[in-house]
Structures are given as C-alpha cells and as structure tokens.
C-alpha cells in the first residue's frame, strides 16, 4: 500500500463517517428527494459505515481494502445516478464523484494496477 492510497482511505472513511453522523439531516433530505424509503436509507447508511470502517482498518490490514473500496465505489455510482435523476446541480454531485474516484484509485493500488 502506498502513502497516497492510505491517505485516500482515511479521507473516504472520515468523509463517510462525517456525512452519515454529523450531516445526517442532509442525507434525510436527499433520500426524500430521491423518493427512497427509510429502510433503503438505513441500509445504505449502515453499509457505508461498515465499509468505511473496513477501509480505515485496511490502513493496517491491506487485505481488507479491495472489496470495501469497490462496494463504496458502487454506492457512489448509485449516488451519481440518483443526483442526475433528481436533476441536482453539478455541485451536489461533486462529493460522491470525488469519493468514487478515490475508491477506484484505492482499488487499483490494492490490486497493484498502479
């Protein structure tokens, strides 16, 4: 694991934790705007917290990195889809796009593609 990947892992994990705890009111508004249920929101939130915890633990245990980074990337692609479907402006799509790119970078480093 290189230092850039470790930094990216920390950024992704901390960002997800921050959004799903301290900015949860925004998450609620967005999921309501997207027409998604509370069950889906709770499932996505629990998944993101669990995956970001694994990603953070992957700083010390590199074998934990690949699958969580790819699953978070999938969730970020889903976020992009729902933002586009809702007609949200570009600025609302930037955070999930950045996290998507970071997760793909982390996965590529994990598989020693870069």
Q: Are 76 and 41 in contact (CB under 8 A)?
A: no
pLDDT of 1 reads 67
pTM to 2 decimal places? 0.95
- What are 7's two structure tokens? 């930094």
User: DSSP class of residue 76?
Assistant: H
In the chain, which residues have pLDDT < 50? Answer: none
Structural domain spans, the chain: 3-110
């Amino acid at each position: 694991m290189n230092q850039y990947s470790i930094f990216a892992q920390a950024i992704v994990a901390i960002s997800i934790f921050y959004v799903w705890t301290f900015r949860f009111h925004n998450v609620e508004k967005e999921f309501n705007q997207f027409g998604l249920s509370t069950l889906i929101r709770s499932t996505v939130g629990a998944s993101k917290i669990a995956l970001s915890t694994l990603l953070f633990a992957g700083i010390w245990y590199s074998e934990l990195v690949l699958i969580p980074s790819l699953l978070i990337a999938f969730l970020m692609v889903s976020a992009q889809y729902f933002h586009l479907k809702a007609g949200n402006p570009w600025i609302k799509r930037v955070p999930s796009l950045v996290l998507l790119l970071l997760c793909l970078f982390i996965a590529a480093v994990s598989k020693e593609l870069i």
